[in-house]
Structure 1
């Protein structure tokens, strides 16, 4: 491939990639391509063309730090740009450093959260960005950072252009339409492994599913759990509520019932609703326990039941937890699980399959996917017993109940060692599903199926990238394993049908002929052409997903029809909604479908406070400011405030989350946080509100969400009592919002009242009251920049006193958790530098 911005002899020319790049350059586009076929190469061509034609910067967004580093290494290798102009941005780079680097960068690869925060805080501008690639574009839904970045990009850029790349946009028309709407997609291009120009580059992938029987001992334990579930189901039905329409009640049915009950609680206060909510909470726990015994085994079930038992024994336990663990059949289940030493047959089968793979090819790499961390640990322990197998657990960053997650740095190190062969088996949860470029993976083993077509495609995409691969799915007969397997298969078929329908509607409108890379816009569609080179070594893309399998499955209820409708009306959705109507004509033999025309209509939907605010022109009519605590950038409130045209200033606020004047500050609590704070003394809500009312004349508490009385199983009277105390004893005004959008609208109204009508200035002030000696000591240490509350506690725990912290040298400080070289140097600078006030 020859191009001024691509290094010679680094990228192989494939016609289908040129074809897709040409389509993508005709306008904002979504490219759907099976994994291993070079989605990043297509992005490279598009970026090179846009930079050559329009200059400016190009931005690549990818969901995780390992993916960002993977992309950065690839683009530094192939792009003919100075290395200092190809930059990787993650949260580990300080905001000030990112601002400096942004000015010099030509191609920036970043996690979306970093760019979102830098846009909100006005550290960067997207004005001169001539292209953005959205990796794993199916994430562009809801409140994910992709949607906000795309919105701000098309508002501010001089020459905006985007490319979304994915292998699995979703099975439903609504989901695919939401992605297209969020990214302003005008063109959709789809390639499958069946296309003639793609077929020569597709590596064979053997897919098999292996069934096992549930042992009698496990079936007995499942029977106890099902007896508990049936008893609770009868109670719910006697209370006048129903779950599910058939004999089998799924987790989805329980969630729908829970949502219905929450809605009825807001309308009235019938005690039966609260009783039903409590029983449904028990049913959710039992349903999960049944899934554990069916798909994971007794070790995973034992750990889960021990967690439930510990929860029921705690002082803050809910009535539902206590009642469940006191049930006779639950006690029987606990007893049988502890005395039974039968392991799930999947475990022995996994050992055998992995062992056979490595014996046949000692240089193989194997990935085993499990849905749960406990299962991952169990599989690692089982595989470690086999000579020649060197497994490693690969999980996310979050820590929970004695299970510490992996930092992003640890994740990168593990992947590097896996690629190098130090580990030959990666036992991973969902964190390894997306994007990881590990070409040498020979076998992907599903410890259990997943009902999500996106996750299933991503998992299978870990193999068969540069040579023949193998996928094995373990399924327990007569359990939800089978339901999950067929569900994902059916959704994959529907996704492919929907994508072809979408391509027919949103395909490029023009086709000019050209073979120049710098004029991709003119490349014509070449569906049946043979590539002019044989498959060779090519840099594969750094995201991932998998092929849509070529087998012809006949699932009930799926006739393969193509009935794409871009977005259906939904009274609860917000913003504009495009409905695309397809007019089709087909002959009697069903051989041909022809698209005649498209009709895009803007549908008016349910209005929100945000809609009324923007429609009335308030956005540009007033100059309103608000000071936001920097920790609130993770919420969606700041993004909505930005959209409403408010000037945002971020600061480390000690009191309150939002300050709108010198006398009015707001504390925001989600309903689950509020409820949890009533039973968890560490959250200290009342201390926060005490400080708020002490410092500000007009303190306000916004409670956000619709499940205040149902997010935790707490007596409603306790919640009412707390609300009364907050309003009467603390003098704090309480306002309620449904979601982040309404919270932002309320904040804007407060700001308008204070700043426009009352002519008051913004003045964040006040310090937290430190009622104990320990809190005062923590406050002293945490007042140093870059030292948060956790780091302050770590320092004091390590050294024993404030004086010892002050006397410690840099090397001693670096031994403390969360204290790196820069932070240690900053501490010494504060303590040792002469005062120049």
Structure 2
């Protein structure tokens, strides 16, 4: 009979007593800790024990942060079922809860479970503070890097909390030394506690997990398609070398290598608009597309490549399609591939292998549950259709929320409904992309099948963790010989080993440091300050910083500009601004755009409307252009960009500032605020609303929304037919009577206007 945890804030007979969990909780109560524990062994229980102890000792409230809405709801349900406090004192925050309601619930709750973005936004808007938070749990703590919300929340917590203590929990922090160190630094971790399945106090709770690797060979027909793609790659790498830019490993180069070169070229383009760089970028775009096609063929098969090729061909046929896709569509080898794909009778041997493995599992144990993981949506659909043809197999495709061309995503509500049906047995196989790896309450399965290996040790561990939680489980990894499958497999294995070694080493080092610090007689408060904070005084003068205030549009909280402003001692007020992103005085308002946003707003015709509103209401309108890529995004003609910039300055009187990144942008905003508010003694004032578009502008907008119709063609149609209604009623021949309208455009209009709607 199991023993249960006894604690005044934990309900009786709800939490089984496990020695390793108690040890981890004890460590986590002494110092801010990172706990690494395999999936299914109760990381949330460790957090529960720490939360209960901190609330009993210090009162206040505890905060649990988790990256997705389903995980937030799952953790809230667990805490309500185990904590001996009123259920209405445990609240779940997501973006669906209004800001005003969150502020009210915060004041009246002991435990808040939330997505980190919600808490970050509430901190920035000053709706809440972390002063009396006695503990924060960071679930999936490996995300605490870069600009992720965890880093900002932890920073504010250690600045303002009376008794700050953090717990980071994860099954897979990663193998990269720098990333692990960054996680520890961001969360101010002083202690690392690692448990593995082989540890003596953990092994009694581990179910047997069988891991098999099944190797297959590509059929000759697919090998010939592969050779054609490799010839295209050879040709493009040679042409890239002729421009003066080379990729050392060429065909063996990873996507990361190619994207790194692309990033360097974008950076060079900013200072040197050399046509050679444009050419190199275009060739690199072709290489990335062909490289992806090769990966799809090697690891997924003919059907998946056919779908990718169709999308590429469609892109090439669009007026807005990239030069890279158009050139590839004209390539003789690509045309040959298109022809061979239609005649190819071979399929990837992984398909038959998947059918055999899943069929055998369900025949031997009809009550089994299985997850088949694949990297691509097309493959998920193909596999779900294939498995549905088999007796006793009830598969369902499981993908993320985003929708793409001819591919609608699943809402979180639909995902939860599928998982519920999986639990009850209405479905017994989930065919999923990476969305099922983390952040969803999917029950333990008997079989996890990797349709292809993944090079990420984090993703590999999360996938394998979906089985052998409560009963024995099996993991099968399909590997195609002499393809990148093999490289990905060995990369994952190597990274997993390195991760375990790194974590053990870090655990030992931090343990020694804590012992040395403890022996030196330093107080607990001194120990908590592992990293020094910058002084709040002005470095140059030693005086307190100037008080500056900026009005910020609430949509800008998604960027890190607002965080950077806070670090620069700029006070701000978050509002919904109809005009501008930032207002620094009664005469200066700022629109901020990344280089890509700038080009997109130029193409979709929203830029001049925004700038017109800005210059109409503010005497000195400003535009901040942030980052590289302005001249390479969307393959737009550089003259169009230069012409726009000239028009903004000369016709609208807009001052344009160029910045490298969000941190740079914050510095520029601060300097503008300082000049206006301190040097010119001006007040911050929000005024003006967007001007309503003229009727003629709205009519042009409706017509130009039709694919392949630009503003000039829209105006031509309206001038000829006199109204939007008459355009929609016109037949194919009548449409061509208008200037600039040819057979192709007339056909497109009739297709869109006359076709039956299909949801």
2:293 corresponds to:
289
C-alpha distance in structure 2 between counterparts of 1:360 and 1:257, whole Å: 51
Q: Which position in structure 1 is the counterpart of 2:572?
A: 648
Residue 375 (structure 2) aligns with: 371
8 Å Cα contact 1:244/1:250 also seen in 2: no
Q: Secondary structure at the match of 1:312?
A: helix
In structure 1, C-alpha distance between the alignment counterparts of 2:161 and 2:238, rounded to whole Å: 59
Deviations 1:737-785 (A, max 9, x none): 11111111111111111122222222222222332449879x9xxxxxx
Alignment of 1:29-48 (within 5 A): 29-48=33-52
Q: 1:509 to 1:23 in 2, by over 3 A?
A: farther
Distance 1:613 1:411, change over 3 A: farther
Query: Deviation of residue 318 (structure 1)?
Result: 2.5
Does residue 737 (structure 1) correspond to residue 655 (structure 2)? The answer is no
Aligned-residue Cα RMSD (Å) equals: 2.6
Task: Summarize the Cα distance change of 1:200–1:355 in structure 2 as closer, same or farther, 3 Å threshold.
Answer: same
Q: Report 1:416-455 matches (<5 A).
A: 416-455=420-459
Q: Mark the CA change 1:774 to 1:619 in structure 2 (over 3 Å): closer, same or farther.
A: farther
1:418-467 superposed Cα distances (whole Å, 9 cap, x missing partner): 22222211121111111444443111111111111111111111111111
For the 8 Å contact 2:64–2:138, the answer to whether it is kept is yes
**Which residue does 2:137 correspond to in 1?**
133
Q: Deviations over 1:158-193 (max 9, x none)?
A: 111000001111101101001001101111111111
Instruction: Identify which of 98, 103, 108 aligns with 2:102.
Output: 98
Q: Which residue of 2 aligns with 1:354?
A: 358
- 1:463-612 alignment, distance < 5 Å: 463-507=467-511
Using the TM superposition, give the Cα deviation of residue 615 of structure 1 relative to its aligned residue in structure 2, in angstroms. 4.4
Structure 1, residues 91-117: CA drift from partner, whole Å, max 9, x if none?
111111111111111111111111111
- Distance in 2 between residues matched to 1:505 and 1:761, nearest whole Å: 53
Q: Please name the residue that 1:723 is paired with.
A: 645
1:311-369 per-residue CA deviation (whole Å, 9 max, x = no partner) reads 11111223222112111111111222233243322122212211111111111111111
Q: Which runs of 5+ in 1 are unaligned?
A: 512-521, 523-599, 605-609, 780-799, 802-837
Question: Which of 668, 673, 679 pairs up with 1:757?
Answer: 679
Q: Decide whether aligned partners of structure 1 residues 59 and 342 sit closer, same or farther in structure 2, where only a CA change above 3 A counts.
A: same
Q: 1:625 aligns with which of 546, 549, 555?
A: 549
Closer/same/farther in 2, CA of residues 662 and 444 from structure 1, 3 Å limit: same
Q: Deviations over 1:370-401 (max 9, x none)?
A: 11222212211112222222222222222222
Provide, for residues 537-574 of structure 1, a one-character-per-residue CA deviation record: whole Å limited to 9, x for no partner: xxxxxxxxxxxxxxxxxxxxxxxxxxxxxxxxxxxxxx
Q: Under a length normalisation based on structure 1, what TM-score does the superposition of the two structures give?
A: 0.79
Q: Distance in 1 between matches of 2:386 and 2:103?
A: 48
Pairwise CA distance, 1:270: 2.9
Q: Give a deviation string over 1:483-503, Cα, whole Å, max 9, x none.
A: 101001000111111111111
Q: Which residue matches 1:771?
A: 693
Deviations along 1:605-664, one digit per CA (max 9) or x if unpaired, are xxxxx9999745899522222122221111111222223232222222221111111211
Q: Match of 1:240?
A: 244
Q: Is the 8 A contact 1:89 1:109 kept in 2?
A: yes
Report if aligned partners of 1:89, 1:110 keep a CA contact under 8 Å in 2. yes
Contact kept? 1:318, 1:714, Cα under 8 Å: no
| 1:664 counterpart (588, 605, 608) | 588
Residue in 2 aligned with 1:674? 598
2:611 corresponds to 1:689: yes
Q: CA 1:489 to 1:614, structure 2 compared with 1: closer, same or farther past 3 Å?
A: farther
* 1:5 and 2:9 aligned: yes
Q: C-alpha deviations, 1:236-258, integer Å up to 9, x for none?
A: 11222110246622222212221
2:82 is equivalent to residue 78 of structure 1: yes
Contact 1:132-1:161 within 8 A present in 2 as well? yes
CA separation in 2, counterparts of 1:102 and 1:247? Answer: 55
User: Residue by residue, what CA displacement relative to the aligned partner does 1:489-521 show, whole Å, maximum 9, x if unpaired?
Assistant: 00011111111111111127678xxxxxxxxxx
Match of 1:275 in 2: 279
Matched, 1:409 2:413: yes
> Aligned to 1:507, what secondary structure does the other structure show?
helix
Q: For 1:327 and 1:726, how far apart are their aligned partners in 2?
A: 40
Shift in CA distance, 696/225, structure 1 to aligned 2, threshold 3 Å: same
| In 1: Cα distance, 2:47 partner to 2:615 partner | 53
Cα distance in 1, alignment partners of residues 682 and 531 from structure 2: 44
Distance 2:435 2:543 in 1: 40
Q: In the TM superposition, what is the alpha-carbon distance from 1:716 to its structure 2 partner?
A: 2.8
Greater relative CO (CA pairs within 8 A, separation 6+): 1
Q: Is the 8 A contact 1:85 1:107 kept in 2?
A: yes
Q: How do 1:54-453 residues align onto structure 2 when only pairs under 5 Å count?
A: 54-245=58-249, 248-453=252-457
Q: Name the CA distance, whole Å, in 2 between partners of 1:617 and 1:389.
A: 73
Distance 2:564 2:445 in 1: 43
Q: Which residue of 2 aligns with 1:579?
A: none
CA distance in 2, matches of 1:734, 1:324: 37
Contact 1:138-1:169 at 8 Å conserved across structures: yes
1:703 equivalent in structure 2: 625
**Structure 2 residues without counterparts, runs of 5 or longer:** 516-523, 525-529, 702-723, 726-759
Matched residue SS, 1:441: coil
Q: Work out the CA distance in 2 between the residues paired with 1:459 and 1:178.
A: 24
**Structure 1 position 262, deviation (Å):** 2.2
More helix by share: 2
| Cα distance change, pair 772–367 in 1 and its aligned pair in 2 (3 A) | farther
Separation in 2 of the partners of 1:676 and 1:611? 41
Alpha-carbon contact 1:88-1:110 (below 8 Å) kept? yes
1:11–1:651 Cα change, 3 Å: same
TM-score of the pair, normalised by structure 2 = 0.87
Contact 2:212–2:477 (Cα < 8 Å) also in 1: yes
Establish whether residue 14 from structure 1 lines up as the match of residue 18 from structure 2. Answer: yes
C-alpha change, 1:14 and 1:68, in structure 2 (3 Å) is: same
Relative to structure 1, the CA distance from residue 309 to residue 770 in structure 2 (aligned partners, 3 Å threshold; closer, same or farther) is farther
- 2: CA distance between counterparts of 1:640 and 1:392? 45
Classify 1:42/1:419 alpha carbon distance in 2 versus 1 (closer, same or farther; 3 Å). same
Structure 2 contact 589–614 (Cα < 8 Å) conserved: yes
What is the total number of aligned residue pairs between the two structures? 687
- The SS at the match of 1:693 is helix
- In the aligned structure 1, how far is the partner of 2:327 from the partner of 2:85? 65
Label 1:332 to 1:359 Cα distance change in 2 as closer, same or farther (>3 A): same
Query: Helix, strand or coil: the match of 2:92?
Result: strand
Paired with 2:61 and 2:697, the residues of 1 have a C-alpha distance of 47
Secondary structure in structure 1 of the residue aligned to 2:563: helix
In 1, are the aligned partners of 2:536 and 2:545 still within 8 Å (CA)? Answer: no
Q: CA 1:218–1:772 in 2, change beyond 3 Å: closer, same or farther?
A: farther
1:25 partner SS: helix
